[in-house]
Amino acid sequence: MSHDYRKTPEALNRLTPGQYHVTQEDGTEPAFRNKYWDNHEAGIYVDVVSGQPLFSSIDKYDSGTGWPSFTKPIAADEVRTRTDRSSWMVRTEVRSAGADSHLGHLFDDGPAESGGQRYCMNSAALRFVPVADLEAEGYGEYRSLFDTTADSKGLAS
């Protein structure tokens, strides 16, 4: 199934001011005061602008930073990175591949057993789709991620 995950004027008009600031102006939301930092429900996280699937709850972990953190994207080509020299430091910025939305930053202090990477994302850049809603929202192809891991991860299927 082919999808066209682009930024459209209509999609930008649907964003809240906070979502627009984060995704279009490279903003950062406050730690521990965002929607998904403590979400433990099974499902996927998609780009709030385009709907592009980006991360799975299977790869989400508590980094202690106050932002949703993941060990990897659903697929490597769903995100792209670039050097960010703002804020008087050099960091690796993460953007969605389809709509070029600013998502957050990539750090090398993630769990070693999962590759050592921490994708530290802004909740405002994401929309969560619970497993129970995957088919209804057009993400049925991602259901198998949870069917094969439900027992090992303690997730409800």
> Would you call 120 a catalytic residue per the annotation?
yes
Q: Which of 48, 99, 120, 126 is the catalytic position?
A: 120
Report the b/e string of 63-98 with b at 16+ CB within 10 A.
beebbbbbbbbbeeebbeeeebeeeeeebebbbbbb
DSSP string for residues in 93-125: EEEETTT--EEEEEES-S-GGGTS-EEEE-GGG
Catalytically active residues, by annotation: 120
